[in-house]
A and B are shown apart, each in its own frame.
Chain A
Amino acid sequence: MNSRQFLIRDLLVLFGLTGWALALPGFASEFAVSMALTCLMYIALSSSWALFCGTTRYLSLATSAFFGIGAYTSAILLEQVSWAQAIGLGALIAAAVAVVMGAAVLHLRGTYFAVLTFGMTELIRHAISYFEKSVTGTVGRVLMVVPERDTIYLTVLALAVITVALSITLRRTRFGLAMLGIGADEQRAQTLGVNTRWVKVAGFALTAAVAGAVGAAMSVRWTYIDPHTVFNPFIGFQTVLIALIGGAATLWGPLIAAIVFSVLAETLRLQVPQIYMMSLGLLLILSVLYLPGGLASLRAETFRGWRDGAKAWWMETRDDLSGETKRRKLRDKQLRERRDVF
């Protein structure tokens, strides 16, 4: 397949999935719709995360900061402005914060960047809860004006579709290629004439805008928000986790992983929340160790590789346990000595 055929295939898959998701509230139960909503939220979050962080390899842990900023924007402004405006403003403010944050920290790479974005998220969370406690005098906010359930669902669906469509188109533009170049070798990209600083800040702001919009749309679903729930670092961790397990550099990986995770979360979390979290941790470790390319990179060869690896490991352990390794070493040594004599 050439690039054009890939584009058509991706757009067709997206079109089909959108149609299916659009029809869902018509026939499914209340529970299934709420599960689909969580699923769509994580599709939007992790696809937008992978859009910037997957290609440039800047590991950002600040998703929950942008999510929370969006949520607070819509919680404060929803009584004055319309629904669409609240979401747009949420995205705009989150993007503005991302531009400031990105200008300050995007010259640092690797672990420094990850730790700093995490620290800034916590700083924003603590600053807002301190502000609410000492100036507003409350801990949380109750949302009075809440739109219909279907409106929320359609908005989040639209956001998810926009995000996936963006990552389909962006990887074919100069901007997407520049981000990919930064991920491969930043200095070389710079030498070849990419304005890396601008590209990085713009990409970071783009992910932040999506996260802010999703936060603004999701805050009304909770009807009561406080800094601890909307700035929960777990939202950011889970986004990163989904993107990494799905394959951060791929297009459909985050989407597949988001669906798998939402189903897993809803079925396991209700019975034993700790087991769900433990399996999450274990899955993360296993996927980093044995499937670094993510779920989307799973092929028949991967299974063959695992099988060969396991077989080799088993042979080695068996030889160790039965003393075969020692005997083999001894034989080799005797062989060498005999060769030396003649």
Chain B
Amino acid sequence: MSFSAWLELLASGLITGGIYALVALGLNLQYGLMRILNIAHGEFLMVGAYLTWMAQTSLGLNPLFMVPVSFAMLFVLGWVIHRLCFRRLTATSPNLDIFEARGLMVAFGLMFLVQNFASWMWGGDLRGYDFLTEPVQIPLPDGTAQFAGNKLLVFALALLFSGALIVLMRTTLLGKGVRALMQSPTGAQLMGINTQRLHPLMFGIGLGLSGVAGALLSMSYTISPSMGEPYTVTALIVITLGGFGSMGGALAGGLLLGVIEALGMHFTNPSLKALLSYVVFIGVLLLRPEGLFTRKSRKS
């Protein structure tokens, strides 16, 4: 294989990896902070994609304009869902284990609800639109490497949003509060961090990120009501790779999984893709349940 072919292969892996990272970061925020394993996360990505598609085809809006709009809309949706479901769940569950199991069930309910709402509202067909489809040529010593313009844009924006979230977590007071709550909920509450306000906010931000991922995905791929589920599973795989609750780990894990999938599909067989990611997932969960990138110093 020539250098440019390698570069194209790696880049295609990184581009899907960028989306994986963005979805996984949102899920990780929800699971790491609130112990809500939101199985319906991918469905909200699908909602974001459909919102963008609708705005583009029926209103003629630029998809780029829809990126912040779908973030805002899904943020509000997440806030409302947290207020309606998870606040009561937190109040009524006797301990964290039971809360986790019940939260998982509520998320399954949300998954059925949202997915079937979409297929009832928009029909089960594949949808899509054209946006920035002309390829970008990059000259190299041995020939040129070609990339679709929209995919490069998607990658750049996915990295931008993931980076923004990580910077928010690392540098601001809000991020400090969230990290403190992840480390020790009781201790953080004793220091005066308001969980009543922070939990819905972070749940909303998580869903907003999946809405951004959906808006980005709709620019370069076709969308359908069942598109969300594979992304949920991938996001689960990514956060197990990176370690539950670790933001940098989720970003690295997402990019890594994208590259692994691209290489695996190129060298073996495209129908093995799903099999490959499940093997990675189960292998990591069984052998290193605390994540690939965490040191074993912290015992739970």
Contact = CB atoms under 8 A, between A and B. Distances in A.
Partners in one complex: yes
Contact of A123 (B97, B100, B113, B275): B275
A101 to B, nearest CB: 10
A115 B111 CA distance: 15
A130 B104 contact: no
A110 B112 contact: no
Contacts of B105: 240, 244, 284, 288
Interface string B259-300: 000000000000110110011011001100100000000000
B92 to A, nearest CB: 7
Contacts of A241: 108
7 contacts: A111-B100, A126-B275, A272-B120, A274-B117, A274-B120, A288-B109, A289-B92
Contacts of A109: 97
Given A110-B100, A285-B106, A289-B85, A122 B233 contact: yes
Contact of B120 (A112, A114, A278, A280): A278
B285 A281 contact: no
A65 to B, nearest CB: 12
A284 B111 CA distance: 11
A93 B92 CA distance: 41
B272 A123 contact: no
Contacts of A108: 285, 289
Interface in A101-119: 104-105, 108-112, 114-116, 119
A114 B117 CA distance: 25
B100 A288 contact: no
Interface of A: 57, 59, 104-105, 108-112, 114-116, 119-120, 122-123, 126-127, 130, 133, 237, 240-241, 244, 272-275, 277-278, 280-285, 288-289, 292
B102 interface: yes
Contact of B285 (A59, A112, A288): A112
B279 A123 contact: yes
Contacts of A119: 233, 236, 278, 281-282, 285
Contacts of A112: 285, 289
A59 B274 contact: no
B89 interface: yes
Among B109, B114, B281, B286, the one with the most A-chain Cβ atoms within 10 Å of its Cβ is B109
A165 B113 CA distance: 35
A288 B106 contact: yes
B116 interface: yes
B101 A57 contact: yes
A110 B101 CA distance: 7
Interface of B: 35, 37, 85, 88-89, 92, 97, 100-102, 104-106, 108-117, 119-120, 233, 236, 271-272, 274-275, 278-279, 281-282, 285-286, 289
State the main secondary structure of chain B at its contact with A: helix
B94 to A, nearest CB: 10
Given A278-B116, A284-B109, A285-B106, 19 more contacts: A59-B101, A104-B286, A108-B289, A110-B100, A110-B101, A119-B233, A120-B282, A122-B233, A126-B278, A130-B271, A240-B108, A273-B116, A274-B117, A280-B112, A281-B113, A281-B116, A288-B109, A289-B89, A289-B106
Residue of B88, B104, B111, B117 ringed by the most chain A CB atoms within 10 A: B104
A282 B85 CA distance: 11
B165 to A, nearest CB: 23
Contacts of B89: 288-289
Contacts of A288: 89, 102, 105-106, 109
A292 B96 CA distance: 15
Contacts of A284: 105-106, 108-109, 112
Residue from A59, A237, A277, A283 with most neighbouring chain B CB atoms (10 Å): A277
Contacts of A126: 274-275, 278
A116 B282 contact: yes
Contacts of B233: 119, 122
A288 B99 CA distance: 10
Contacts of A116: 282, 285-286
A269 to B, nearest CB: 11
Contacts of A274: 116-117, 119-120
Contacts of B85: 285, 289
A109 B289 CA distance: 12
A149 B272 CA distance: 38
A292 B102 contact: yes
B110 A281 contact: yes
A144 to B, nearest CB: 28
A115 B37 contact: yes
